[in-house]
Amino acid sequence: MNLIKMIFSSIWQILGLFWKYFRKFQSAVGTLLFFVLVVYLGIVLFNGDKVIVPQQGALYVSLDGMIKEQKTYNQSSFQAFSGGKIKRQTILRQVIKSIDIAANDDRITMMIINTNGLAGAMPSKLHYIGEAMSRFRAAGKKIFTYGNNFSQGGYLIASYADEIYLNPYGSVLLYGYGSYPNYYKAFLDKLKVEVQLFRVGKYKSAMEPYIRNDMSPEAKEAMQALMGDLWAEYTDSVTQGRVLEKEEFIANFENVDKDLAAVGGDLAALAMRYKLVDGLKTREQWRVFLAEKMSTDIAGLQGKTIGYHAYLTANSGDLVKPKNVIAVVYANGTIMDGKQPQGVAGGDTVSRHLREARLNDRVKAVILRVNSPGGSAYASELIRQEVLLLKKSGKPVVVSMGSYAASGGYWISANANEIWASPTTITGSIGIFGAIPNFEGTLSAVGINTDGVGTTPLSFAGLGKPLPEKIKAIMQGTIENGYDRFLSIVSDGRDMTVEQVHEIAQGRVWTGNKAIEIGLVDKLGTIEGALESAAELAKLDDYKVIYWEDPIPWDIKLISELMERHVGAGKILMAQTTGPQGILMAKIAESLSVISQFNDPNHAYVLCVSCMGEFGNGR
């Protein structure tokens, strides 16, 4: 028996020794591979002087993943590398800049735009890209696009092209805009969770999904009007771009089942019948078509095209510091208290960026680019105070609204010198609420009870008991005071009476088209228009635009760029299979995760929850 123990002990020691040195070897190899990766990416990403723009070539614009205002990165490159959580992103300003430069570049004669990888975008971003495409065409250059299938968002982009081609087994999927949130009251009841809600505003439906099982009549009224305005813009753009009769285009939605049956269920043939595309081509036929357009053969196509990332690298500007600067400061994402990463509008972070711009002598004006559904009232007020200080310093502040600038997004905008929005911007939602969950029932169900004593009627047990009545009264009073403050802020900023603001407030959301009619915005247009206006206000003839952002840690940026820009590695690292149950749970988790963004110290929120998702299937 002792002999057997000795044998096993020796084997175990040998295995332990082997494992120890194997781990050291693994660590050394991993370090070496990471070093090689860093060197490789440094060469690929930063050695821009070797990029050659083809003569008589085509700009290739591939819209991959979500179209965003700012790039968002995982906080840990190793977490991103192992978890495969990095998703493709297209940065809006890069696409616009590349198209506008190419429009005036004699080396570029045409554009190929690809929407096959588009995962989603709010309507304003799609229209914005379309307007840049129109400027490219106005310069006398052609745009062509080809789709394996066209999503609704992808087709809106395609409609701005000269010619659209579709795979014979493809489809154009148009279904209109809609908003169908999930409602969780019954689910929360099963978990015995109570959401204690305090709000002001007839249309302030931000927390309805947590206290109702259906959409309220007021929310339906406001959302139907909003969706109708957005759909009108969509149909106008598509019918104008494709030279279609709008009445006939709308009627097709009523007759699509019969029309599809008439072509034997062939969706590609239906797209041809509706004149949504100019022809059907296989991928090889598409390549032959492009080669003919560029006077080459299929083998020569790669040398005649340049992707927009590479094209921007080839056209990077000089490094001379400009005398006059217009700073673009982003308030992008949910407004939260404290310091926050890119993609979240941290109250401290955005305030610091505005303060830095104010104290920088080269900065003569500021564009506050707002793409936010709102959030913390306290953080919103911190940002607004910096806007006021900028104006007091003599530097004009022009707000350029992106896809949405609602609730807290409007709070921080109201006092700017000018407010610009796109026709499909979602704004307004002037209202406020507070929400504190009560988990007493949940805890009790698993055998946990909360009890105790306090020194005053204001002592309470946190989330383990209902709020005392006095606390509830204080919360409601605070929320009503916050609403009155919101009305006063808008009243002062927009030169309206409080009564006039209240009439269009109460939590209701508006499109940019409606917002200009009711006085919430000054002008309709893109950020380019806002920049020109800021230059006029600052009396600038010569200036440079600088995007005022914090630098991204180099390791996070390198790993992310590898996964996104190098397709092979990206596909391997991002590949994953998700079943229906996974999709459902992810949807529930995403919807409930809004509560994790509630970090206002006073529990007061100016947030448009319905604005937070890529609603309406814009993709």
What string of H, E and C letters represents the secondary structure of 140-185?
CCEEEEEECCECHHHHHHHCCCCEEEECCCCCECCCCCCCCCCCCH
Give pLDDT, residue 83.
45
For the segment 108-113, the average pLDDT, to the nearest whole number, is 97
Q: At residue 614, does pLDDT exceed 50?
A: no
Q: State pLDDT tens for residues 525-555.
A: 999 999 999 999 999 999 999 999 988 766 6
Backbone angles phi, psi at 569, to 5 degrees: -65, -40
Q: At residue 193, does pLDDT exceed 50?
A: yes
Give pLDDT, residue 19.
62
Query: What sign does the dihedral 82-87-92-96 (CA atoms) show?
Result: positive
Give pLDDT, residue 257.
94
Q: Which residues contact 144 (CB under 8 A, 6 or more apart)?
A: 110, 111, 112, 113, 161, 162, 163, 165, 289, 290, 293
Q: How many CB atoms lie within 10 A of CB 416?
A: 25
Q: At residue 572, does pLDDT exceed 80?
A: no
**pLDDT band with cut points at 50, 70 and 90 for residue 81:** very low
Q: Provide the percentage of residues in the chain whose pLDDT is more than 90.
A: 56
Q: Which residue has the higher pLDDT, 11 or 516?
A: 516
Give pLDDT, residue 610.
63
Q: Of 295, 275, 308, which Cα lies nearest the Cα of 158?
A: 275
Question: Which residues are catalytic, by number?
Answer: 204, 407
Q: State pLDDT tens for residues 389-435.
A: 999 999 999 999 999 999 999 999 999 999 999 999 999 998 887 77
Give pLDDT, residue 89.
87
**pLDDT band with cut points at 50, 70 and 90 for residue 615:** very low
What global pTM score does this model have? 0.82
Average pLDDT, the chain: 83
Q: At residue 617, does pLDDT exceed 50?
A: no
**Which of left, alpha, beta for 452 (phi over 0: left; psi -120 to 50: alpha)?**
left
The b/e string for 264-274 (b: 16+ C-beta within 10 A; e otherwise) is eebebbbbbeb
For the segment 74-103, the average pLDDT, to the nearest whole number, is 72
Q: How far is CA 393 from the centre of its chain?
A: 32
83, two tokens: 């978890």
Q: At residue 361, does pLDDT exceed 90?
A: yes
Give pLDDT, residue 329.
98
204-207 contact pairs (CB < 8 A, 24+): 204/429, 204/431, 204/432, 204/433, 204/506, 204/507, 205/507, 205/609, 205/610, 206/407, 206/429, 206/431, 206/433, 206/507, 206/605, 206/607, 206/608, 206/609, 206/610, 207/433, 207/435, 207/609
Q: At residue 51, does pLDDT exceed 90?
A: no
Q: Is 18 exposed, middle or buried (0-12, 13-18, 19+ CB in 10 A)?
A: exposed
Q: State pLDDT tens for residues 502-514.
A: 999 988 999 999 9
Q: At residue 109, does pLDDT exceed 90?
A: yes
